[in-house]
Every structure is written in structure tokens, then in C-alpha cells.
Amino acid sequence: MQEAWTMPFAFCTREKFPWCEFAEDAETGPTTKMLQELAKAYNMVIISSILERDTTHGDTIWNTSVVISNHGRYMGKHRKNHIPRVGDFNESTYYMEGNTGHPVFETEFGKIAVNICYGRHHPQNWMMFGLNGAEIVFNPSATVGALSEPLWGIEARNAAIANSYFTVAINRVGTEEFPNEYTSGDGQKAHRAFGPFYGSSYVAAPNGVRTPGLSRHRDGLLIAELDLNMCRQVKDFWNFPMTQRLPLYAESFQRASQLDFKPQIIREQ
């Protein structure tokens, strides 16, 4: 499913009511319960991206993807790691960065992970799912043409190549209308419409090939057969894991994360 598939992508409005009412428990909420029945009936793994309400921790809200096994069991969840603060994507008004790390779910059909929407702009996010053994990484998204369409066909495809796994880029379609006008902070007049979301969902393989994209304007279903042997074959051919030098970058990231970090710049004396 696309990001927050049970609701309008209403975070542009900055209004809490009624949009927070869509939030539900990841494990016991009505959406998960409904999809558990379908997953079991049709022998399919389902990834459901919802607005989560965590009643155990003060009713906090998260942007969360739930993974349901083909046996109809709740396997776990992943919360969105990177929250946008760009354009009309005012999501930090509702929820903050996730705290579930980079989990990989070992299903009957392969090891899968979920990189939610804005996380696709962060190469390290893709990388960590690969280091944890993912063979397919899904990217449920809700993104609009004026903002990100030039990047859309590149990012998930590049991630598939760089990390030797399959990627699935998923986006909603259409323009959504809201009851009250809101402003975009760009000097333009207040408006009610958000969009258009441009669809164009596709699958990319670790060798760089990809499927055609779905429609920009209509809902669609993309069916693709993936040979997971290709993940290892590409690793053997390109040697990306062997040559990635994790200790070098771990040390560099550690230095860069310190408040007294100084960039390694050499200037003429």
C-alpha cells in the first residue's frame, strides 16, 4: 500500500482534527485486523502503511508500516526514520522521527524491509536495510509532482544498484481537496487542493533494470516476478559489499556527528 493509505495525506493542513482520528494501534487496530484476514486467505505478505497511535506511550502518533505474514500474523512494524520539513509536508506537526531502527522481516517469500517515503532521499537509510540482509525494500510514499517527480525514477533505482537488492517505489495518485484553506509559505494565495500525487510506481532490480511505471493519474496494480538469486549474483559480480569499507565510514560518521567537527578541507598556503 502507499504511505498512509487509509486517509487523505492531510498533513499539509496542519489541522489536528479530524486527521488525528485516523490513527490506530499498529498491532490490534481495525486496518491490521482486516488485512490479516486477507493475507491468510490469499497467502500473501501485506505491507500496510498507517498513522499509528501508541497508547502505551502517551497516545503519541507515528508514521508506521505494518508487516503482516502470509499466515495472517502480525510480524512487526517500522516507523518512518526521516520526517520532511519541505513544501507542504508539515509532518513534524503530527509525528517525529521513528525509533525502530532498520528492521528486516524474514517472510516466506524473502527478506523484506520498508523505507517510508522521505527516507528514500537518505542513502544511509537504504544502506542499513541492506546491511541487515534485505532482499526487497519497499518505499511507500505520498509525494507530489512539483516537489519530487524529477527524482522519482532515480532514487529507488539507484538504491537497488548500490545495495544489491530489489526496490519497490510506491506512490498515490490524484489531487486531494480539504474543507479549509491552507497556505504553503511560498507567497501564493491560500488554497484547498494538495497534489497532484503522480503515482508512477515501479520495481527496480539490483542489476539496474526496472519495470515500467504505473499510471500517473489512475490507481493501479503492478505485478512483477523477482528472482532473489540476483541479489547474490550482483554482489559477486560487482563486489560492492567487499569494497564498501564500513570501518572507514563508521569512523568518519563518528567524527562528523560531533559538535566540534571540522571538515577535512585542504587549502593553499
Active site amino acids: 3, 80, 117
Give the span between the Cα atoms of 155 and 107, in whole angstroms.
25
Q: Which of 101, 105, 98 is nearest to 73 (CA)?
A: 105
Are the beta carbons of 142 and 78 closer than 8 angstroms? no
Instruction: Name the β-bridge partners of 194.
Output: 176
Query: From start to end of the chain, where are the E strands?
Result: 46-54, 60-68, 74-79, 105-107, 110-114, 136-140, 166-170, 173-182, 191-198, 202-204
Asked if the peptide bond before residue 179 counts as cis, ω within 30 degrees of 0, the response is no
> Cα separations (Å) of 18 from 86, 175, 181, 205?
23, 19, 15, 40
**What is the Cα Rg of the chain in Å?**
20
> Cα separations (Å) of 72 from 103, 124, 163?
19, 32, 30
